[in-house]
Amino acid sequence: LKKDKITVYFIDRDGDQIAAPAAVGESLLDVALNNSIELEEGEKTATEAKVNSTLLDVVIDNDLDIAGFGACEGTMACSTCHLILPKDFYNKLPCPPSDEEQDILDMAFGLTDTSRLGCQVYVTEDMDGLEVKIPVETSDVRNIS
């Protein structure tokens, strides 16, 4: 039986800013430990994702409120749809990023080894239960001169 809808979880950006006193020469890890800073996981939202739609479509279809997301409407010009995928899913994706996608990703804030543009990743049946992270910050690369 083929599914035409699956569940994808979006993990929110956690925009909390925490001020922490730091001693000169201290490592950032020590600053975090000495101030008992816990890096919280953002909130997780379950969405209904249509097979063959893009992750950008899923965000739009489910009315997810992600500031600035998808600013170029999927024309691979902005990088605001940057999402971070779990490694196993990233490796299983049918298509690696095209050169064009990679060029935009290279300009995205907080690029990771498993980053993709949400407008370029199509939902497949085996993505059921996928958890994607929304990066803390995004940039619209059209504004970078």
**110 is a contact residue toward ligand FES (CB under 6 A):** no
**78 is a contact residue toward ligand FES (CB under 6 A):** yes
Q: How far is the CB of 85 from ligand FES (least distance, A)?
A: 14
**77 is a contact residue toward ligand FES (CB under 6 A):** yes
Tokens of 67: 């500031």
Residue 9 contacts residue 44 (beta carbons within 8 Å):
yes
Instruction: Give the one residue of 55, 59, 85, 119 binding ligand FES; rule: CB under 6 A.
Output: 119
CA distances from 145 to 47, 48, 56, 66, 107 (A): 35, 37, 25, 24, 11
Total binding residues for ligand FES by CB under 6 A? 14
Instruction: Give the one residue of 58, 81, 132, 134 binding ligand FES; rule: CB under 6 A.
Output: 81
